[in-house]
Chains A and B, each alone.
Chain A
Amino acid sequence: MIHDNYKKASNKKRVKQLFFSNQDFPSITLYDFFDWKYYEDVEERMSKMTFSHSKNTLHHSYSSANTIPLLKKFLNSDEFIAYLSGILNKDFALVEGKLYRFSWKDYTLLHDDSLEEEGYDLIIDFTENWNQQAGGQIVYVDGEGSYRSVPVAPNAITITLRKPGIHKFVKYVNNKSKKDQRICFIGSIE
């Protein structure tokens, strides 16, 4: 399921170097990560899913759904866990998370009640033709003015080590989105 390019030893080494090159925000985005046939299978099944909208005004507004079995199986496969462990130099056992859909007026907010502990985030993007002016980016901040915005691109995965004090939010989706939707898997590697 992982695209052949990423399986090459030389590329794995390069990905690992790039991940750790930014000491403040260890993070990497891998474009065209999945084999396209697998990606399209997942996308097709997701298009038939029902998302439930949830709003807690001071915290978030978004729709979410449980991860589809086809994706969940792969995320917890030996192949993928071994790939992550190799990149991050750490033994992992599990990937957990949910699918999220953000439309116009959706967002998440940083809030004392919902700040996350240190950990590894995995974001998989399923958004097609997103207008970058429309918001909806996942933004990591360190509370001291530095930030990193995760690129929006279909079939891209982003792995981030959230060090203490680093938190993320999803930028408010504005009227430039029109009827488009930002769809992604947001989870953690444990």
Chain B
Amino acid sequence: MLKDWIQKDYLGERKVKEYSSRFRDAQPFPHLELSQFLQQEKARALLKAIVKEPFQKKKADLFSFRQTQDLKGTKNEELQVFRAFLCSKEFIGYMKDLTRLPLKPGKVDLAGTLYEDTDYLLCHDDELEGRKIAFLLYLNDFTPRDGGSLGLMNSKFETVARITPKFNTLAFFEVSKKSFHEVEEVIGKKQRLALGGWLHDP
């Protein structure tokens, strides 16, 4: 099943071990950015599917963006199949090998997010009971000038790593008290579209 979804560059014992080390050694906290992660046609199908979902505006002191409901309730077959893949023992096992973290099959939070001009998500750590890995699959291309980058910060709140959205890039990080991050304000007409959520511990 893994090879039906994931590009071969990210599969195989040697590759997983290499990426696992990169993950654990990444600063300011464990994270990875994997470009061209899914098989291209799968990523394109997900983009087609998610734009058909209803998005609701979410606004608070900390954020402004649009989001779908949790996709466990979606009627869209592409998204259902993708979610099932994320929940599968195979994928969770793969992520356990990559991250060296205990993860629970079957328990995935997944939603679509859409950031438009002036939307943002200010600095926070994502920590909530059970969340172990936060992940994002980007579904379009941004440049740094467009904003919308995921900024990962150290304990002094200095941005140490910055991930600019690129179509079919999977970004993920370990959730902890130190996993401070933000989504920089989107500037301009481009829409930042992603599928994201959390994997959980057992």
Q: When the two chains form their complex, are residues B122 and A109 in contact, meaning their CB atoms are under 8 A apart?
A: yes
Interface size range on A against B: 10 to 19
Inside 8 A of A176's CB, which chain B residues have their CB?
A: 118
Interface size range on B against A: 10 to 19
Segment 132-173 of A: residues with Cβ below 8 Å from B = 133, 135, 139, 141, 169, 171-172
Q: When the two chains form their complex, are residues B120 and A174 in contact, meaning their CB atoms are under 8 A apart?
A: yes
Q: When the two chains form their complex, are residues B123 and A57 in contact, meaning their CB atoms are under 8 A apart?
A: yes
Segment 161-188 of B: residues with Cβ below 8 Å from A = 180, 185, 187
A105 to B180, CA, bound (A): 17
Most A C-beta atoms less than 10 A away, residue of B118, B120, B147, B153:
B118
Q: When the two chains form their complex, are residues A172 and B187 in contact, meaning their CB atoms are under 8 A apart?
A: no
State whether the Cβ of A25 lies closer than 8 Å to any Cβ in chain B.
Answer: no
Q: Which of A133, A139, A141 contacts B118 (CB 8 A)?
A: A133
Inside 8 A of B62's CB, which chain A residues have their CB?
A: 109
Interface of B with A (CB < 8 Å)?
A: 61-62, 64, 117-118, 120, 122-124, 147, 153, 157, 180, 185, 187
26 contacts between A and B (CB under 8 A): A57-B123, A57-B153, A57-B157, A57-B180, A58-B123, A58-B157, A105-B185, A107-B61, A109-B61, A109-B62, A109-B122, A133-B118, A135-B118, A139-B61, A141-B61, A169-B61, A171-B61, A172-B64, A172-B120, A172-B185, A174-B118, A175-B117, A175-B118, A175-B147, A175-B187, A176-B118
Known: A172-B120, A174-B185, A175-B187. 20 other contacts (CB 8 A): A57-B123, A58-B124, A105-B185, A107-B61, A107-B122, A109-B61, A109-B122, A133-B118, A135-B118, A139-B61, A141-B61, A169-B61, A171-B61, A172-B64, A172-B122, A172-B185, A174-B120, A175-B147, A175-B185, A176-B118
Interface of A with B (CB < 8 Å)?
A: 57-58, 105, 107-110, 133, 135, 139, 141, 169, 171-172, 174-176
